[in-house]
Amino acid sequence: MAAGAGGLVATAALLLALAGPRPVPAELTDGNSEHLKREHSLMKPYQGAGSAAMPLWDFQDSTIVTSQYVRLTPDEHSRRGSIWNRVPCFLKDWELHVHFKIHGAGKKNLHGDGLALWYTQERLTSGPVFGSKDNFHGLAIFLDTYPNDEATERVFPYISAMVNNGSLTYDHSKDGRWTELAGCSAELRNQNHDTFLAVRYSRGRLTVMTDVEDKNEWKNCIDIAGVQLPTGYFFGASAGTGDLSDNHDIISMKLFQLMVEHPVEDESVDWTKIEPSVSLLKSPKDNVDDPTGNFRSGPLTGWKVFLLLLCALLGIIVCAVVGAVVFQKRQERNKRFY
């Protein structure tokens, strides 16, 4: 029995070594201006502040531009607003840093609804999804501040990601749970310090990180492999309020080009014709038993493989020990009859 247990331990050690360490989140840029793309960036001083004369950006509905921020919605009921870049982005690898502020008079759950960041084919189309249209084509990052689903186990505010080819509808009653790829909770509302969010897309990998704790460091939120996004889409931000409200402000949106090498075969691909998609283990719509959405974060690699192997090994060890005890008791019982 001791020899068998030793063998199991050795096997466990070998499998854990093969699984490797938990992957380290992708490092984001330091925010320098070396690869800053000004045609896709919104920064102070805003040109044409307070008017519709901004050369690279359009805004609509309740949005107002001041010298200090772009207010997508005021802290008032039933408002929506958005701001959109006029220039389509043809970068295959990019990183977006967003300086934002969500604040208002509402306390506890008496505020809403939230803010969304977009990289989509459509622009300047008002709608019910945080101020913009449903059934969009592209990527959306939602900063949801109000739980519409009373049975949810999530802690709000909640950040989530969604990729759509126009066929999916965002379900507000379930806070987008059926179409969410991954997400995390973040205390980003009514903070007295600056709050930031970074979205990185490179070689099919989508990474979202936050800096909302006044620590001047990025915290991992979402990391998804197998994401396919075309070039030629537009960046934008929108927000919406309903019976509850908040001020939703954008202070800056800075886009950086990532200098990344691609395989030779990528040179023949027409990146403008790629359909937005994600290679998942299963469709987000099938994930009806997962109230948190944290499982939908990509293929079984890294730490997920580690956890699965560890659980399997523990199960094998428990079964081996139980089997040995049962076998020993049977042997003792048989000896009584001799």
Q: pLDDT tens, 56-76?
A: 999 999 999 999 999 999 999
Question: Residue 120, Cβ neighbours under 10 Å: how many?
Answer: 22
Side chain identity at residue 325, one-letter code: V
Average pLDDT rounded to a whole number, residues 278-292: 52
Q: How much is the pLDDT for 301?
A: 44
Listed range (34-48, 134-148, 197-211, 269-283) with the worst mean pLDDT? 269-283
Mean pLDDT in residue range 291-314: 57
Containing 7, the helix (H) or strand (E) segment is helix 2-19
Is the pLDDT score of 22 beyond 50?
no
14/19 Cα distance (integer angstroms)? 9
Look at residue 105 and tell me whether its pLDDT is greater than 70: yes
Residue 281 has pLDDT above 60, yes or no: no
pLDDT at 10: 45
Contact between 298 and 223 (Cβ < 8 Å): yes
Per-residue pLDDT tens digits for 139-194: 999 999 999 998 888 999 999 999 999 999 999 999 999 999 999 999 999 999 99
Give the pLDDT band of residue 109 (cuts 50, 70, 90): confident
Q: What is the mean pLDDT of residues 267-283?
A: 85
Q: Average the pLDDT over 244-256 and give the result.
A: 98
Q: Residues 103-124: what's their mean pLDDT?
A: 94
Answer yes or no: is pLDDT of 122 > 90.
yes
Q: What does the block give as tokens for 8? A: 């199991």
What integer pLDDT is reported at residue 312 of this predicted model?
82
Q: Which pLDDT does position 63 carry in this prediction?
A: 97
Q: What is the mean pLDDT of residues 100-125?
A: 95
Q: Which 3 state secondary structure label does DSSP give 117?
A: strand
Q: Provide the β-strand partners of residue 226.
A: none
pLDDT on residue 49: 60
Asked if 183 and 224 touch (Cβ cutoff 8 Å), the reply is no
Mean pLDDT estimate for the chain? 84
Q: Spell 132-148 as b/e; 16+ CB within 10 A means b.
A: bbeebbbbbbbbbbbbb
Q: How far apart are the first and last CA of the chain?
A: 24
Q: How confident is the model at residue 297 (pLDDT cuts 50, 70, 90)?
A: very low
Lowest mean pLDDT among 19-33, 167-181, 261-275: 19-33
CA distance 293 to 284: 9
Q: Which residue has the higher pLDDT, 46 or 34?
A: 46
Q: What is the pLDDT of residue 168?
A: 97
Q: How confident is the model at residue 123 (pLDDT cuts 50, 70, 90)?
A: very high
pLDDT over threshold 50, residue 211: yes
- 146 vs 293, residue with greater confidence: 146
More confident residue, 33 or 291: 33
283: pLDDT strictly greater than 50: no
Q: Does the bond joining 291 to the residue before it have cis omega, within 30 degrees of 0?
A: no
Q: State which amino acid sits at residue 106.
A: G
pTM: 0.76
What integer is the mean pLDDT of 209-220?
97
Q: Which residues contact residue 296 at a Cβ distance below 8 angstroms, ignoring those fewer than 6 apart?
A: 180, 181, 182, 224, 280, 284, 287, 290
282/108: higher pLDDT: 108
